[in-house]
Chain A
């Protein structure tokens, strides 16, 4: 025991400066992670009653079934499954376009950042206006109110009245807004691949597609993996677009807000949040495993 203290003392003497430097990070972890997670766990096992909370209790787990959790989970899963690849593909397409040097590239890159600058709330409200029923711009366009566009529908569509349409529009907004993030990550990945590799492959007989498949794609997997992980996490947590555009079809993020503010049930909201964190952890694990597997497959040429 005494030797243990002695060792700690030595450690402190030797590394006190480094330990002081670590202090802010440790405080941050304590403040924003340990305390919050601890509180979340306590809330999860608390049954919220009008006057006083009952602790410990498993009532939240019983209430979960009727809370709409499983429907919301299913919606959110679809949101992630469709949205993540979509963000990757649109980001990759944009990055491949911007990778080439052309006149005005700087202007185009700056413009491509634009979605990020507009507050999501504003974008979501604009989407609401554009997809309004029955007089939104999209309905006007599709029902042939503009002479330069063919009439595709006889009657306007109520975009918000079906889950696929409403969530689809919300997803559209999310993908558009976050395009610059995936684009930037992929672009920096693309630019880090030496031109020599492409030229070497070219002289060895590789076509454009083969160069993309055998050089670009495998060397871009770290960036692709980053995009998939980051974007899927954001999509799991997504709140503002479904909240504004598809209020009738809550995703997990929206559901937590409903339960917490609408039903004033902090305990149940905490449980849903905890399950959401679990989903994120599981999906991140799967994505990292599969990109590693993919990388190994691609590397084998």
Chain B
């Protein structure tokens, strides 16, 4: 087992920079997800750690060893591909045995390890099957078994669940998390699915356009997004955003959205003052907007456009004036489309972002989450 350290790594194809100046440290045994929209450079980053992609700038360390010029086969990493890349001409057992055979392990030890891997992944009864005879989930398990049997210092997973259907994906998610607790490997996991990233990892690294946007625990990136990108990318439905102008009134600072005004929440006034009468972006999580029984002094009047039932919860698509919001409410509230409802914005959960840079105004503050 080993830690992984990426120091200012970058990757360019000709003039095009796909990953720039990325710093990331992954502790020994940690599960880190690289998450971002497609084309953000997350897979390229993973492949640079695997050694399948040349590193243009910066250094990659596995443990204490700088591996920039080390061939993939000597890095002691194992990778699971999105396509699983199971060798189609070999049985499940031969697939798992492949790496061990290449490493010329003695027969006895090889048997033992293959058996361990088959048992770990629940594949004993499938050992003699060919990959084409397996279901998606079974292939996935073979791919994992094939990677783990090599006892890699680092396990790299490239969108391993994206080819599975929704139900299976959630099962495999749980299975992966259990597996990580069991084998305690350092895992770097690439996904475009923020739910996967949030549920699986110890820490999430959010990427956009080749840059690292934020690294933190799932709770940190959700509660304290450092910029507008992370704020809207993490969370489902996405965070509501609206352009507001802070105004200094006799009641203190209010955020003027045109259609309505909100008192400034717990963002320190000192951070907002430089932005007086300037546009800033206000972000509100859908679950931080409450639907009230009846109008109150601090409530706003919203019109319900659409109700999306999710079972335990409903997502409301509402308008306050011309501004569109999503609200998450418990199911069974009896709210119907076309109905006006009183809503209140949770003052404690306001996020404010610089209009130009998208940086959170809170970013300069150190505050416990």
Using a CB–CB distance below 8 Å, which chain A residues touch chain B?
A: 194, 196-197, 199-207, 210, 214-215, 218-219, 295, 298-301
Contacts and interface: CB of A to CB of B under 8 A. Distances in A.
Given A196-B83, A301-B97, A202 B89 contact: no
A207 B102 CA distance: 9
Interface in B62-98: 71-75, 77-79, 81, 83, 85, 87-90, 94, 97-98
29 contacts: A194-B85, A196-B85, A199-B72, A199-B79, A199-B85, A200-B79, A201-B102, A203-B52, A203-B73, A203-B75, A203-B78, A204-B73, A204-B78, A204-B98, A204-B146, A204-B150, A205-B73, A205-B74, A205-B99, A205-B102, A206-B73, A206-B102, A207-B73, A210-B102, A215-B87, A295-B89, A299-B89, A299-B90, A301-B98
Contact of B94 (A205, A206, A219, A301): A301
Contacts of B74: 205
A203 B51 contact: yes
B113 to A, nearest CB: 13
A301 to B, nearest CB: 5
Nearest to B81: A196
Nearest to A298: B89
A6 B90 CA distance: 51
Contact of A301 (B50, B90, B156): B90
A195 to B, nearest CB: 9
Contacts of B73: 202-207
Given A194-B83, A194-B85, A219-B89, 17 more contacts: A196-B81, A196-B85, A197-B87, A199-B52, A200-B81, A200-B87, A201-B98, A202-B51, A202-B72, A203-B50, A203-B156, A205-B74, A205-B103, A207-B73, A214-B87, A218-B89, A301-B90
A203 B103 contact: no
Nearest to A221: B89
A-B CB proximity, top 3 nearest: A204-B99, A196-B85, A200-B85
Contacts of B72: 199, 202-203
Nearest to B99: A204
A45 to B, nearest CB: 48
A214 B99 CA distance: 11
Interface string B112-124: 0000000000000
Contacts of B156: 203
B98 A199 contact: no
Contact of A202 (B52, B90, B97, B146): B52
B52 A214 contact: no
A44 B103 CA distance: 62
Nearest to A295: B89
Interface residues of B, number: 28
Question: Which of A200, A203, A215, A301 has most B Cβ within 10 Å?
Answer: A203
Contacts of A204: 73, 78, 98-99, 102, 146, 150
B101 interface: yes
A202 B75 CA distance: 11
Nearest to A206: B102
A295 B72 CA distance: 28
B173 to A, nearest CB: 23
A219 B98 contact: no
B143 to A, nearest CB: 8
Question: Which of B52, B71, B73 has most A Cβ within 10 Å?
Answer: B73
A204 B148 CA distance: 11
B79 A203 contact: yes
Contacts of A295: 89
A219 B85 contact: no
A219 B85 CA distance: 13
Question: Which of B51, B79, B87 has most A Cβ within 10 Å?
Answer: B87
Contacts of A300: 94
A204 B94 CA distance: 13
Question: Which of A201, A210, A295 has most B Cβ within 10 Å?
Answer: A201
A204 B97 CA distance: 10
A199 B81 contact: yes
A196 B85 CA distance: 5
A293 to B, nearest CB: 14
A285 to B, nearest CB: 23
Interface in B149-174: 150, 156
B364 to A, nearest CB: 42
A204 B151 CA distance: 11
A214 B81 contact: no
Contacts of A299: 89-90, 94
Nearest to A200: B85
Question: Which of A197, A204, A298 has most B Cβ within 10 Å?
Answer: A204
A192 to B, nearest CB: 11
A193 to B, nearest CB: 9
A205 B78 CA distance: 9
A105 B81 CA distance: 29
Contacts of A298: 89
Contacts of A207: 73
Contacts of B146: 204
B78 to A, nearest CB: 6
A202 B85 CA distance: 12
Contacts of A210: 102
Contacts of B71: 202
A206 B104 CA distance: 11
Question: Which of B72, B77, B89, B103 has most A Cβ within 10 Å?
Answer: B89
A188 B52 CA distance: 24
Given A214-B98, A300-B94, A301-B94, A203 B77 contact: yes
